[in-house]
């Protein structure tokens, strides 16, 4: 280890910045975030930087003088005058003051790591000046991995640290308690933006420490297939649930991101062959949560768009089970983007309608005249079997037989395929293809843009 990572408490301590440009400004901002008192010396100081440093900070708009370094705890030199940078470095070293000369590792006795700030939680990443690019890349990865509310969680735990120590006698009890906090509903409430409820629950669980854990249900939209389209929240809940209930639409590559040791239960649904009836799924959710489990109900696309998410949540609410709903990218958005078919477009469509193509008993109980409107894109979910009927009815109700239509198979997945035709031709065109589910149908002038905008498929 070439450098020792430490965290400095510099609030209200005097620090020195030499330089008045953009780089000096960035460093001054960082020092200010940690509460330092800044003395800044430079013959010219940019206006923005001046505005950052009202008294008691000091701005000395002149050449640097040796005594400027007196009584400071650290120095940053951010000038393009190499001789001056070296002078500042030597003065600081002679006085045993920490010094950083920006972008010159050899002249630094300390360096600024890249930071992920979830105060009071801080993560510092450093390559000792070897490769700032790699450091920044790693920092960006950590940023996306660590939910922004981790700071609130750390603050909450910090507030209760002393109380917990007082109430729970042994180190072992405390460890178990804090583990249940970070892995359980208190953390979950904090991360989903409900800090007051989290604090209340922490209080309650502290009183009843040792009592059985409460279960909860996460109704999560897994998006249309490409795992890159999951939300951060979806991924976090997927990695903490004890049991996963998923249906056929959830791609294997997405299921693979759930916790390795979680129980995984397949609950349907194949077209016309529901593996578990809806009521049983809802009852199963309730039962598992009542057993104290964290249950993930993973659904394709968005749970509230043709996903019957509403029904499942009603059951949970009736049984007084805590739940969270996480939206997902619905098939219409995913397929449209990946097929290069904008659902609205100033020149072609001013509105879009999501319609179920799952017609009861092959009959057509949709409001066809409403669907045949100029400037409107139609998206049919579950429409493959009804495709010929849909095309016929649209034409019968006044749509042009030449209106473009797209059938997107396995949208957003590597296997995605796009079939393009018109209301008059598409059904015929795919009659001899072995089209695989799931498929989505998009009808409207916007389909014409596929040729120019598609980047895949």
Please say which residue, 204 or 415, places its beta carbon nearer to ligand SAH.
415
Check residue 327 for interaction with ligand SAH (CB under 6 A). Answer: no
Check residue 407 for interaction with ligand SAH (CB under 6 A). Answer: no
- Selected from 335, 371, 418, 447, the binder of ligand SAH by CB under 6 A is 335
Stretch that binds ligand SAH, among 22-30, 126-134, 197-205, 434-442 (CB under 6 A): 434-442
Check residue 113 for interaction with ligand SAH (CB under 6 A). Answer: no
Smallest gap from residue 220 Cβ to ligand SAH (A)? 11
Stretch that binds ligand SAH, among 30-38, 185-193, 282-290, 305-313 (CB under 6 A): 305-313
169 sits in the region (left: phi over 0; alpha: psi -120 to 50; else beta) called alpha
Smallest gap from residue 232 Cβ to ligand SAH (A)? 19
Sheet holding 243-246, edge to edge: 263-266, 243-246, 294-299, 216-221, 323-326
Stretch that binds ligand SAH, among 111-119, 282-290, 395-403, 410-418 (CB under 6 A): 410-418
Total count of residues recorded for the chain: 457
| Residues paired with residue 407 on neighbouring β-strands, in sequence order | 419, 441
Check residue 185 for interaction with ligand SAH (CB under 6 A). Answer: no
- Selected from 17, 339, 381, 442, the binder of ligand SAH by CB under 6 A is 381
Residues between 44 and 63 that touch ligand SAH (CB under 6 A):
none
Check residue 302 for interaction with ligand SAH (CB under 6 A). Answer: yes
Distance CA 330, CA 239 (A): 21
Q: Please state, in angstroms and as integers, the Cα–Cα distance from residue 58 to each residue in 46, 68, 76, 85, following that order.
A: 14, 11, 15, 20
Q: Which of 375, 450, 345 is closest to 405 using CA atoms?
A: 450
Q: Is 81 a catalytic residue?
A: no
- Selected from 404, 411, 444, 457, the binder of ligand SAH by CB under 6 A is 411
Stretch that binds ligand SAH, among 132-140, 189-197, 254-262, 405-413 (CB under 6 A): 405-413
Residues 391-422, buried b or exposed e (16+ Cβ, 10 A)?
bebbbeeebeeebbbbbbbbbbbeebbbbbbb
Check residue 238 for interaction with ligand SAH (CB under 6 A). Answer: no
Please say which residue, 101 or 219, places its beta carbon nearer to ligand SAH.
219
Smallest gap from residue 73 Cβ to ligand SAH (A)? 56
Please say which residue, 129 or 268, places its beta carbon nearer to ligand SAH.
268
Q: Is 247 a catalytic residue?
A: yes
Please say which residue, 78 or 249, places its beta carbon nearer to ligand SAH.
249
- Selected from 59, 285, 298, 331, the binder of ligand SAH by CB under 6 A is 331
Please say which residue, 53 or 442, places its beta carbon nearer to ligand SAH.
442
Check residue 457 for interaction with ligand SAH (CB under 6 A). Answer: no
Indicate which residue of 27, 247, 293, 302 is catalytic: 247
- Selected from 301, 327, 404, 444, the binder of ligand SAH by CB under 6 A is 301
Please say which residue, 127 or 386, places its beta carbon nearer to ligand SAH.
386
Check residue 340 for interaction with ligand SAH (CB under 6 A). Answer: no
**Total of residues contacting ligand SAH (CB under 6 A):** 22
Check residue 215 for interaction with ligand SAH (CB under 6 A). Answer: no
Smallest gap from residue 198 Cβ to ligand SAH (A)? 30
Smallest gap from residue 223 Cβ to ligand SAH (A)? 8
Binding interface with ligand SAH (CB under 6 A) = 224-225, 249, 299-302, 305-307, 330-331, 335, 381-382, 408, 410-412, 438-440
> Among all residues, which ones are annotated catalytic?
247, 269
């Amino acid at each position: 280890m070439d450098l020792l990572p430490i965290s400095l408490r510099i609030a209200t301590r005097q620090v020195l910045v030499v330089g008045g440009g953009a780089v000096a400004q960035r460093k001054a901002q960082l020092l200010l975030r940690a509460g330092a008192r800044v003395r800044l010396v430079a013959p010219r100081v940019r206006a923005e930087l001046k505005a950052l440093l009202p008294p008691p900070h000091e701005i000395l708009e002149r050449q640097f003088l040796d005594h400027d370094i007196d009584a400071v705890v650290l120095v940053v030199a951010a000038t393009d005058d190499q001789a001056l940078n070296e002078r500042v470095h030597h003065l600081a070293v002679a006085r045993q003051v920490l010094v950083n000369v920006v972008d010159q590792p050899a002249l630094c006795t300390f360096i600024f790591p890249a930071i992920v700030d979830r105060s009071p939680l801080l993560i510092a990443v450093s390559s000792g000046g070897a490769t700032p690019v790699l450091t920044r890349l790693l920092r960006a990865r950590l940023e996306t991995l660590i939910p922004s509310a981790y700071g609130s969680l750390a603050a909450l735990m910090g507030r209760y640290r002393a109380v917990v120590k007082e109430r729970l006698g042994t180190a072992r009890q405390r460890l178990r308690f804090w583990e249940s906090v970070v892995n359980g509903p208190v953390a979950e409430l904090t991360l989903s933006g409900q800090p007051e409820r989290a604090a209340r629950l922490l209080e309650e669980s502290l009183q009843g420490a040792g009592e059985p854990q409460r279960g909860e249900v996460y109704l999560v939209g897994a998006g249309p297939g490409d795992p890159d389209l999951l939300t951060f929240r979806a991924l976090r809940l997927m990695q903490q649930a004890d049991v996963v209930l998923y249906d056929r639409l959830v791609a294997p590559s997405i299921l693979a991101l759930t916790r390795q040791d979680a129980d995984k239960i397949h609950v349907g649904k194949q077209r016309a062959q529901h593996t578990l009836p809806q009521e049983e799924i809802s009852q199963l959710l309730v039962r598992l949560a009542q057993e104290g489990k964290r249950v993930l109900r993973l659904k394709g696309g968005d749970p509230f768009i043709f996903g019957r998410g509403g029904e499942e949540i009603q059951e949970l609410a009736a049984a007084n089970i805590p739940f969270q709903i996480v939206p997902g990218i619905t098939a219409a958005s995913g397929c449209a983007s990946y097929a290069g078919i904008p659902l609205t477009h100033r020149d072609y469509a001013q509105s879009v309608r999501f319609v179920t193509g799952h017609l009861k008993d092959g009959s057509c109980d949709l409001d066809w005249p409403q669907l045949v409107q100029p400037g409107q894109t139609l998206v049919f979910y579950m429409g493959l079997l009804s495709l010929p009927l849909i095309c016929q009815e649209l034409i019968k109700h006044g749509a042009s037989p030449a209106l473009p239509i797209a059938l997107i198979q396995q949208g957003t997945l590597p296997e995605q395929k796009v079939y393009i035709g018109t209301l008059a031709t598409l059904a015929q065109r795919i009659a001899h293809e072995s089209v695989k589910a799931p498929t989505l149908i998009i009808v409207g002038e916007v389909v014409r843009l596929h040729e120019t905008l598609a980047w895949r498929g």
